[in-house]
A and B are shown apart, each in its own frame.
Chain A
Amino acid sequence: MERKIRVLVAKPGLDGHDRGAKVVARALRDAGMEVIYTGLHQTAEMVVQTAIQEDVDVIGLSLLSGAHMTLFTDIAELLKERGMGDVLVVGGGIIPEEDVPRLKESGIKGIFGPGTSMDEIITFIKENVKG
């Protein structure tokens, strides 16, 4: 049997807006993926630790506070340091267009802003995850 895609949905930083993260977590689960949700208030270190322990293929970061440039890139750096560079990292939230190129450069492969459909996220993950 084919191994299910394992996804960590994570809320780094102090941001408490978890509606989007929870809706996406539900949608990914309904799409047949195994979903682990970190809950709120995660440091970069905590997110990466959980990703290692849970042996995930994908990390989905959600942040609406505006701290994404610091926290998303912290996580991407840390993953590379720990030899987890092949985990697919995607992010969503209130992210201005002008920040997207720098986030992609740092290793966040997909950025999904407000209004993104759940289907779009599911398709992106299926197409980009390393099997």
Chain B
Amino acid sequence: MFDRKALKELEKRRKEWENSNYIPLKERNPEIREEFENLSWTRIAPLYTPMDIGDKDYLKDISFPGEYPYLRGIHSTMYRGKIWTMRQFAGFGTAEETNERYKYLLAHGETGLSVAFDYPTLYGYDTDHPLARGEFGKCGVAISSLRDMEILFKDIPVDRITTSMTINGPAPVVWAFYIANADNQGIPRTKLGGTIQNDVLKEYIAQKSFIFPPAPSMRLTVDTFEFGYKEVPRWNTISISGYHIREAGSTAVQELAFTLADGFAYVKAAMERGLEIDRFAPRLSFFFNAHNDFFEEIAKYRAARRIWARGMKELGAKKPRSLFMRFHTQTAGVSLTAQQPEINIVRVAIQALAAVLGGTQSLHTNSMDEALALPSEKAVRIALRTQQIIAEETGVTSTVDPLGGSYYLEWLTDRMEEEAMRYFDRIEQFGGVIPAIEKGFFQREIAEASYRFQRELEEGKRTMVGVNKYVMEENLDIPLLEMDRKGEEIQLNRLKKLRAERDQTKADRALERLRRAAEGDENTMPYILDCVHAYNTLGETCGVLREVFGEYKEPLIF
């Protein structure tokens, strides 16, 4: 980007600056540390100059937003055209309580919905399953059947609002609940927009709500890809997620590398099944974390877009929509402190700003009380207002990729891309993502990074305000969420009633047909839809798949 002669002169001047200016000043200030490292233990220099990005070709490596390799953003107009979707992840207790929360959020300016399910639902169990003991409605809403889904979206126009659902192992069944609810209202499937997380690879790696072994899991995922582009074309059939990898303790570089490796693994699996890349790839979406190290996060999103575009091109994708990476961001839950919870508002604001400067398509801002409980109404309202302030007061939306061209940011973007590539090579040496999971590679890398960080925190090398520095005695004085104590009983009665009232012969027949489809190699989605339309529950439908596919047991690594 710069001519050689100018760079040479610059390098000379930079050295002079360092020797005559920086070093003497540093020596007079012994409190200046010798080394500065970011959260991935990458050493950061005191200053970056054109030298650090001198070998870049602007048109090839950086280019314009909306153009390959999409480093600067996926659209030419970005937030001038459309602000990101403000999508707060929410769910607790019964479908009724969560439905009220959704209406509250929409009334306060939220622009998309995002469903958090409770643990039994995440594992494909109904509320009355023995393993559901104690877990009803705790981490999200309990959805055991189409009936619950009907209540969850009562009076919410699913043909006009998009919904994201964090569901993985049982994703095809829960998606079927959503589609069946729309079917019953006479809404055409082509009008439905939203996302199912449906990313099982990162479940084995980090989030751990897996059900089936890798091979049948990948088959179900590809079933949803195919069903999606044929029947529900506006639906994102996967959200390939780094969020949970990061929450489990990875570095930003690991989050970037492992997530993209997973992404390419899905693409290859679908192509091996004979699906055309430009038919399914436009509906692949991503999900990243927004953590504390501001510039590293922004660099991560930018690097992700470029790696994805280049990789997809190599795999034969041609449509822009197959090449550019769309992603959702959530601020880092793990960075929140139970101590002095109000200061989490500040952390979240900075993290959210990084996501916006990195070009996110949708955003969840965490609530200040999330290290203590599920968010209260007030806490979630402040979190939403934080996004609205960034969108409408700060002016950062006026220009596309406003930090692009920063010597530091461009250097860091390149550096993260290189490190991700090195991880790709290591994953290849295992024979791909699934063998690397089975050998515990990702799990070990993450455990190592999270332990190292924790030790540095305790040695005082890292700061967490309110935890290991600026600590104070305090009485908690923010209100926490209270749930309906009768919720579990309501849910159990509803399940009982559903089982008593449905056409049992029709329900059983649908399950039997699903079993045969799962044993063969037909696409399972139409059969799953028949099951849920016949009011088979989540547990019953997943139960058939559990019998056919078996369950995954993970290697134990710490």
Interface residues of chain A, those whose CB is within 8 Å of chain B, are: 9, 13-19, 21-23, 25-27, 35, 37, 39-41, 43, 65-71, 74, 94, 96-97, 113-115, 117-119
Which residues of B sit under 8 angstroms from A18, Cβ to Cβ? 208, 248
B207 and A16 within 8 A (CB): yes
Most buried by A among B134, B139, B455, B556: B134
Number of A-B contacts (CB under 8 A): 103
Q: Which residue of A lies closest to B136 (CB)?
A: A67
Task: Return 15 A-B CB contacts under 8 Å, by A number.
Answer: A13-B131, A17-B208, A19-B249, A19-B334, A21-B558, A22-B558, A37-B556, A39-B556, A40-B208, A66-B139, A70-B134, A71-B133, A94-B372, A96-B373, A117-B468
Q: Which of the candidate stretches B6-14, B117-125, B536-544 sits at the interface with the other chain?
A: B117-125
Contact surface of B with A, Cβ cutoff 8 Å:
119-120, 122-123, 125, 130-135, 138-139, 207-209, 247-249, 334, 337-339, 371-374, 447, 450-451, 454-455, 458, 464, 466-468, 476, 480, 554, 556-558
Distance A33 CA – B111 CA, assembled complex (angstroms): 51
Closest Cβ–Cβ distance, residue B482 to chain A (whole Å): 11
Interface SS of chain B: loop
Assembled-state Cα–Cα distance A28/B13 (Å)? 52
Q: How far is the CB of B372 from chain A (nearest CB, A)?
A: 6
Whether B134 pairs with A13 at a CB distance below 8 angstroms is yes
How many angstroms between the C-alpha atoms of A96 and B371 in the bound complex?
A: 10
Q: Across the interface, do A67 and B134 meet the contact criterion of CB distance under 8 Å? A: yes
How far apart sit A113 and B476, CA to CA, in the bound complex (Å)? 14
Give CA–CA (A14, B123) in the complex, Å. Answer: 8
Q: A67 and B338: CB pair below 8 A?
A: no
Q: Give the residue name and chain of the B residue nearest to A41 (CB).
A: B131
Q: Which residues of B contact A21 (CB under 8 A)?
A: 558
Expressed in whole angstroms, the minimum distance between the Cβ of B33 and any Cβ of chain A is 23
| Residue in contact with A22 in the complex, picked from B338, B372, B447, CB distance below 8 Å | B447
Given the complex of chains A and B, what is the CA–CA distance between A70 and B488 in angstroms?
14
Complex CA gap A74/B135 in Å reads 13
List chain B residues, Cβ under 8 A from A115.
337-339, 464, 466-467
CA distance A21 to B451 in the complex (A): 11
Contact B134 A16 (CB under 8 A): no
Distance in Å from the Cβ of B558 to the closest Cβ of chain A?
Answer: 4
Q: Which residue of A lies closest to B339 (CB)?
A: A115
Given contacts A19-B247, A119-B458, contact A70 B133 (CB under 8 A): yes
Kindly state the separation between the CA atoms of A119 and B457 in the bound complex, as whole angstroms. 12
- Are A71 and B134 in contact, CB atoms less than 8 angstroms apart? yes
Q: Which 5 A-B pairs have the closest CB atoms?
A: A70-B134, A16-B208, A67-B134, A66-B138, A14-B119
CA distance A65 to B209 in the complex (A): 13
Instruction: Given A19-B248, A66-B139, output 4 extra A-B contacts at Cβ < 8 Å.
Output: A14-B125, A17-B208, A35-B558, A69-B134
B548 to chain A, nearest CB (A): 20
Q: Contact between A114 and B208 (Cβ–Cβ < 8 Å)?
A: no
- Cross-chain contact A22 with B458 (CB below 8 angstroms): no
B471 to A, closest residue via Cβ: A115
Tell whether A13 pairs with B119 under 8 Å between CB atoms, given A22-B447, A65-B138: yes
Q: Give the complex CA separation of A69 and B485 in angstroms.
A: 14
